[in-house]
Structure 1
């Protein structure tokens, strides 16, 4: 399964050290999502990330920083995806970029451009990072529709939920609240426990 960690939307204590620790522990994909951060603030953070890890980062905002930092992964939140011509997405893919997006309705999977490698879908379970943000009742009732785009669950992901995600047709999951709302030791522990569980189920 694909395992993704999404950054805290706001600055957190020892953030850079915690990001590097996750990379050193085997984090394969890190989505840098800070919608309120300026381009300068994002630049300052990226400068501090060791170069060897930058290829594993997906940018949600300020995509033009990708070339400067050797980043090939670009994420398109739903509003940005809807506003971006397919021809532009195709051009980015041709240039070697790996594109991802966010989806909140099941039927949208079938409407996605083939340019996207995977989509974040959720919340699948009650959100940890956004109290009160509840899943749609449709999520656990049926498998997600088949499409060429891989499906990555987001929202309330914990170790014991991972087998259910496989049953519901997900190809992976993204961790957010459980990583950043706990202290750094517990966040890293949660990351490792989830990875061990999905490796066990294949």
Structure 2
């Protein structure tokens, strides 16, 4: 099972240090999502990421920065649904919130489906699908290895994610919620390593 980490939607102090640390620990793909940011602020964060890690970063906004910094790719959403001058080695992914959207997958390297569980980063944002619906979607091959589960993902529910047929997990709240408050880098690494163990085991 593959692992993707998504950033918080707002900047916080020493964020680049935390991101560089996760890359050093073995993070393969980071989705940089700052929906309310200005391009200058996003550039400032990217300037603080070590050069050897930039090709592991996917952007959700300000797509003109993808080629400027030689990033990994583009993530499409309602705000931004058209990549800028995609190169052949760059990825395109997309956010989905309905099963019908998963069927339009030929143009994408992978898709996010959310929320699978109650969100940890957005209080009150409840899961959108029942277990029966998810299992039917798996049987219909709407959920498959190119689809990543997003929303409320923790180590304790990853076995369910596998049961539903997802090829990976996209994690936000479990990793970042406590870190934004306590800035405990060792605990951030510990949580990430637990996710890595699951990535390797499932």
* Structure 2 stretches lacking a partner, 5+ long: 180-184
Any gaps of 5 or more consecutive residues in structure 1? none
TM-score (norm 1): 0.88
Structure 1 counterpart SS, 2:10: coil
Question: 2:182 — aligned with what?
Answer: none
**Secondary structure of 1:130's aligned partner:** coil
Q: For the residues of structure 2 that align with 1:13 and 1:164, how far apart are their CA atoms?
A: 34
- Number of the residue aligned with 1:172: 168
- The residue that corresponds to 1:120 in the other structure is 112
1:65 paired residue number: 65
- The SS at the match of 1:181 is helix
How many pairs are equivalent?
Answer: 193
Structure 1 residue 197 corresponds to structure 2 residue 198: yes
Q: CA deviation at 1:79?
A: 4.6
Partner of 1:133: 125
Alpha-carbon shift at residue 80 of structure 1 (Å): 2.8
Cα pair 1:78 1:103 within 8 Å, conserved:
no
Contact 2:120 2:152 in 1 (8 A): yes
Question: Aligned partners of 2:6, 2:37: CA distance in 1, in Å?
Answer: 15
Q: In structure 1, the residue corresponding to 2:118 is in which secondary structure?
A: coil
Matching residue of 1:187: 188
Aligned residue for 1:142, secondary structure, equals helix
CA contact (8 A) 1:12 1:180 kept: no
SS at match of 1:111: coil
Query: For residue 146 of structure 1, what is the aligned residue in structure 2?
Result: 141
